[in-house]
Structure 1
Amino acid sequence: MKTRRMTGSEAFTEALRLEGVEVIYGIVGSAFMDPLDIFNRAGIRFVQVRHEQSAALMAEGYGRAKGVPGVCIGQNGPGVTNLVTGLASAKLNHTPVVVITPAVPSTLMGTGAFQEIDQMDMLRSVTVHQVKVERGDRIGEAIRTAFRAAWALGGPAQVDIPRDYFYAEWDEPELRPHQYRTDGRRGGAPAGEIEKAAAMLAEAKNPVILAGLGVVRSGAAEKVAELAEMLGAPVATIFMHNDAFPMNHPLGLGPIGYQGSKAAMNVVSRADTILALGTRLNAFGLNTQYEIDFFPEDAKLIQNSHDPMELGAQKPIALGLLGDTAEVTAQLVEALSGAAISRDVGAVKAAVATEKDAWTKELEEMSDIDGEVMHPRRAVMEIAKALPENVTAVLDIGNVCGTAAAYLRPEKPGRYLGAGSLGGIGVSYATAIGAKMAQKDDPVCVIIGDGAWSMTLQEVMTAVTEKVNVVAILMNNNVYGAERRNQYDFFDERYFWTELENPSFSEIARNMGAVAKRITRPEEIAPALAEAFASEAPVVLEVMIDGKVLSEPYRRDALRRPKRHLPLYRN
């Protein structure tokens, strides 16, 4: 095999270049300054963020939006510790990420050197694979292994490199990605299991399909629609994955779970057979909502996932279909193509339309409210109406952001990036920047609360510097809404540490170089959004809403009313 003489920095950068890496997120550090010097010659864009947490989140947003591993890097020690939240988010969201962690020199390891921590141990629980470079001439191999793991395992893969190895020299082979990895896609389920599933679905009286992240990631949406039409089965989407199936489809119901579609939950509650495609059925997304205990415990559950550990982990299954969601769905379509299915698809569609119309009317009645201060639901309704059809919406965690789940109805997969299973506050703006850099020609917005914004607003400077025209819709109600709602329900309206004394966020964003506007009336939202999406600069729209109006808590079983025994703490 032909080899070339190179240094560690060259081997490192060349391995990234051959993988097609376009962007790396981080903050300049001495530990990797030597390879950083040649990034631009390799066609790699280094995005200097204002906090390394954002570097990992941007890499995750890039990976989620583009479907390829995002890449981030941190200075040894404190730079690496700052990456943890973003990596944890990527792991729980099954997002491919490669994280580079330069380390102290190999000669000083274990001596308590300046900025030395055990970076492998630190990131073990938030990565799916780790590679520690023990010799300089293994750098290229380590990068290739990390990309193989990120693709195959769907999560963050770490490469830990002692900084002195960047200066080593050796002869390195030139390997292309197809020579050392696949795209990570798996095959379908065993034929016998598909036959059993097809028989159960054909015999079902009220089958319902639940579409999850696997539908989006595998590109299975069209096949799911074909399967639904064949079965006469309504399709609901899993919590935080509104884009797994379009609600405007005649069989589309919208999302189950927190602040989701009441139409979806009503129909799911009556199912006798559930086909869960591409989902682990996170228990949090199955909690009672709108006083509807919607997951029928006596229904037959057929669950599909690419991970065998997810099958049957949350709910007892009648059958597990291990495999790539697109492949499994195609197998079911083929198996059912000649089956005798007696359901009247037209009648099912009519019933779905009735449920959706009733829910849409109820939602509008809940939202069409005028007040001296803008009602949160009115604001979210106006935002949803004004968003472009092809927008990618990124959502933070929180009371108002969670409420948006009922209003946002994306028509294409990959257009709805929820906060994810980590549920981190303040993660969405950096994620949206990464998503926009992955989808340069498509509009991207983020809906984020003021508490979350306080943790991430410094990245407006990154968006301005990098000319990333992402639109931030900042819902400012001057409270930590989700926790304040808990205090309302469980602490007799004793409000402690949930009020926020905010500055003018729009003015701060304007001073950072963004286009910014403060909005106080519902009728201002649509024209402001039209201008925002026409802008070539980053935009921050500060929407002032009523902090006294809060939606349901995320879950009522998470807290109990306090009990106090000591006299000091009673009453």
Structure 2
Amino acid sequence: MKSMKTGSEAFVEALRIENTEVIFGIVGSAFMDPLDIFPRGDIRFVQVRHEQSAALMAEGYARMTGRPGVCIGQNGPGITNLVTGVASAALNHTPLVVITPAVTTATMGTKSFQEIDQMRMLAPIVTWQTQVIRADRVSEALRGAFRAAIATRGPVQVDIPRDLYYGKFEEEEQQPHQYRTSGRYGGAPHGEIERAANLLLEAKRPVFLAGLGAVDSDAGAAIAALADRFAAPVGCVWLHNDAFPGSHRLAVGPIGYQGSLAAMRLLSEADVVLALGTRLNLFGTTPQYDFDFFPTNAKLIHNSINPLELGAFRPMEVGLLGDCLAVVNQLLEATEGRRPNVNHETQLRRIDDEKRNWADMVRGNSLVDGEFIHPKRALWEISQAIPKDAAVVCDVGNVSGSANPYFNFDKPRRWFGPGSLGGIGVGFPTALGVKLANPNLPVLALVGDGAWSMALQEVMTAVREKINLVTVIFNNSQYGAERRNQYDFFNERFFWTDLENPNFAAIAGEMGALGMRVDAAGDIAPKIKEAFAAERPVVLEIVIDPKVLSEPYRRDALRTPERIMSRYRN
């Protein structure tokens, strides 16, 4: 049945039908007409203090729920501010619907006020985009956007000239099942499953890796059942520590930067590697702890939902295209009742030994006393004090990036790293989106002082919206990751890495949050517990030793400089 509506009503109704609960942005005249009726469409508008945060909060929301997040901004500068968050979503495979209001259809292409080519600007970082050219196609555009975001697991763009919100037309309403699927895929072909099953059954030292696909499909329990069958240690791909239950006996922790040495040692000895729900990106498999841990002679069984990722970075023996959970269930069925070649007792003893040695190493490296708080001591104290089911969101940084070994998760959607874009300052806005998506879940954000300087304005958003999360700032008065590079490659010539910081806790207090500052290791755990008991946003600033820096993210990314001209040689 057709009904008469305006462009604004069509816009809000299309979002309501998709059960859009919240949209992140800053008010702008370009979309003020539909914004006026958001409350009647049961849509919450979260007004941020910078549009970059809007995209990052929408991404955090999507990563927590598995549903597309939605963000919007004023045409021109509001949209340019969204770019970092959209690019982050693109590299993190996060479904995002990015609404870009545009100048009027009559002034397009005239370099009018606040006009840029928003389509060409976002084209490289979205998986689908459309520009609405008639008011009666607003609903169609939004249907396409949600269909594409869910199907491609990435950000999509709908560009809407501001005058189209005022058009009037008749149209028939459609429900989601009429124009899109759930986005889930089936399993791999039977022949490929059988080949993979035979490789696993022949293996003496199989190792499993679980990535984002395991999180998206909630495959942890099924992977555990398959791993039990082969006594296979299960490591998590870098940035996806929550892809496998951390308390399981076969869980050996994350590979990659500052990850589990136990996981990487066991992986290096594997004769068969089953990589589930991952592209095996190169950064997450670069050498760590002075050795190349990814085995070159192991036979790789590679599963991904994206055919372009299979075998892209590592040569594979078998490629299993399909949904991670569906593929694991197929492997369970294909190996049912068949005897593996692996010696369970030997494998389990080896896993237990490596896990014990790694746990002792982490404890020994962390329980350090001194005049100033050691960064690893801070991470240790935090990890021991947070609520058991808490979600943890990490920013890029020399300290926050070292958090990998300190947190274990038994449920998916509990660990949120900065992602493959590696943007500094993304952690806090992402955490706000995570908390909004699951208000009853304790959420902790780990942020360095350099990163905090880029996002601290959103404390005002947290206070206004009553987003009660806990944020820890590691204050060592420097850009630590870059300073470590200068230590290793520039003969300790430190340039532009020093920070002259204010009292961040006091500033947070002025913004309406509970601000606390700690400079003694023994005070960290009590303050963490106090922070999670508070019923408002909390910012806990921990002053750490500036002379202690973790390993650089990549030793292969820089070289010792060579100076040829006499002016620069000395």
Instruction: Give the TM-score band, short-chain normalised.
Output: over 0.9
Aligned mates of 1:458, 1:555 — CA distance in 2: 31
The 8 Å contact of residues 203 and 341 in structure 2, kept in 1 or not, is answered as no
Matches within 5 A, 1:356-505: 356-505=355-504
> How big is the shift at 1:342?
3.6
Deviations 1:232-262 (A, max 9, x none): 2110111111111133211110011110001
The 3-state SS of whatever aligns with 2:410 is coil
Aligned mates of 1:487, 1:275 — CA distance in 2: 38
Aligned mates of 1:311, 1:193 — CA distance in 2: 13
Aligned mates of 2:10, 2:309 — CA distance in 1: 38
The 8 Å contact of residues 205 and 270 in structure 2, kept in 1 or not, is answered as yes
Q: Which residue of 1 aligns with 2:149?
A: 150
Q: Which residue of 2 aligns with 1:112?
A: 111
Q: Which residue of 2 aligns with 1:214?
A: 213
Aligned mates of 1:311, 1:518 — CA distance in 2: 47
| 1:234 maps to 2:222 | no
Aligned mates of 1:563, 1:438 — CA distance in 2: 50
The 8 Å contact of residues 129 and 146 in structure 1, kept in 2 or not, is answered as yes
Q: Which residue of 2 aligns with 1:348?
A: 347
Q: Which residue of 2 aligns with 1:185?
A: 184
Matches within 5 A, 1:83-232: 83-232=82-231
Q: Which residue of 2 aligns with 1:524?
A: 523
The 8 Å contact of residues 266 and 292 in structure 1, kept in 2 or not, is answered as no
| 1:11 maps to 2:36 | no
The 8 Å contact of residues 211 and 244 in structure 1, kept in 2 or not, is answered as yes
Q: Which residue of 2 aligns with 1:331?
A: 330
Aligned mates of 1:508, 1:172 — CA distance in 2: 51
Deviations 1:207-238 (A, max 9, x none): 10011111001111110000000122110111
Range moving further from structure 2, 343-352 or 279-288: 343-352
> How big is the shift at 1:134?
1.2
Percent identity between matched residues is 60
The 8 Å contact of residues 487 and 494 in structure 1, kept in 2 or not, is answered as yes
| 1:258 maps to 2:285 | no
Q: Which residue of 1 aligns with 2:27?
A: 28
> How big is the shift at 1:535?
1.4
Aligned mates of 1:323, 1:398 — CA distance in 2: 34
> How big is the shift at 1:338?
2.3
Q: Which amino acid aligns with 1:155?
A: G
Q: Which amino acid aligns with 2:84?
A: T
The 8 Å contact of residues 205 and 347 in structure 2, kept in 1 or not, is answered as no
The 8 Å contact of residues 265 and 292 in structure 1, kept in 2 or not, is answered as no
Q: Which amino acid aligns with 1:131?
A: T
Aligned mates of 1:347, 1:530 — CA distance in 2: 41
> How big is the shift at 1:343?
2.4
Q: Which amino acid aligns with 1:231?
A: F
Q: Which residue of 1 aligns with 2:318?
A: 319
The 3-state SS of whatever aligns with 2:549 is coil
Q: Which residue of 2 aligns with 1:48?
A: 47
Deviations 1:61-110 (A, max 9, x none): 00000110000001000000000000000111111110100000001111
Deviations 1:171-192 (A, max 9, x none): 1211111111111111100000
> How big is the shift at 1:388?
1.0
Q: Which amino acid aligns with 2:443?
A: V
The 3-state SS of whatever aligns with 2:256 is coil
> How big is the shift at 1:300?
0.4
The 8 Å contact of residues 59 and 97 in structure 1, kept in 2 or not, is answered as yes
> How big is the shift at 1:536?
1.6
Aligned mates of 2:382, 2:349 — CA distance in 1: 29
Aligned mates of 2:146, 2:569 — CA distance in 1: 57
Aligned mates of 1:553, 1:458 — CA distance in 2: 29
Aligned mates of 1:123, 1:88 — CA distance in 2: 9
Q: Which residue of 1 aligns with 2:243?
A: 244
Q: Which residue of 1 aligns with 2:556?
A: 557
The 8 Å contact of residues 130 and 157 in structure 1, kept in 2 or not, is answered as yes
Considering only aligned residues, what root-mean-square deviation do their CA atoms show, in Å? Answer: 0.8
The 3-state SS of whatever aligns with 2:456 is coil
Segments of 4+ in structure 1 off by > 6 A?
A: none
Q: Which amino acid aligns with 2:110?
A: T
Aligned mates of 2:215, 2:541 — CA distance in 1: 31
The 8 Å contact of residues 229 and 345 in structure 1, kept in 2 or not, is answered as no
Q: Which residue of 2 aligns with 1:61?
A: 60
The 3-state SS of whatever aligns with 2:526 is helix
Aligned mates of 2:72, 2:474 — CA distance in 1: 31
Aligned mates of 2:288, 2:459 — CA distance in 1: 36
The 3-state SS of whatever aligns with 2:273 is strand
The 8 Å contact of residues 203 and 340 in structure 2, kept in 1 or not, is answered as no
Aligned mates of 2:510, 2:397 — CA distance in 1: 27
Aligned mates of 1:196, 1:95 — CA distance in 2: 31
The 8 Å contact of residues 506 and 541 in structure 1, kept in 2 or not, is answered as yes
**For structure 1, which runs of at least 5 residues remain unmatched after alignment?**
none
Q: Which amino acid aligns with 2:470?
A: V
Aligned mates of 2:537, 2:467 — CA distance in 1: 6
**For structure 2, which runs of at least 5 residues remain unmatched after alignment?**
none
The 3-state SS of whatever aligns with 1:496 is coil
Q: Which amino acid aligns with 1:13?
A: V
Q: Which amino acid aligns with 1:78?
A: P
TM-score (norm: length of structure 2): 0.99
The 8 Å contact of residues 463 and 511 in structure 2, kept in 1 or not, is answered as yes
Matches within 5 A, 1:295-306: 295-306=294-305
The 3-state SS of whatever aligns with 1:183 is coil
Aligned mates of 2:547, 2:435 — CA distance in 1: 33
> How big is the shift at 1:353?
1.3
The 8 Å contact of residues 215 and 221 in structure 1, kept in 2 or not, is answered as yes
> How big is the shift at 1:325?
0.5
The 8 Å contact of residues 475 and 543 in structure 1, kept in 2 or not, is answered as yes
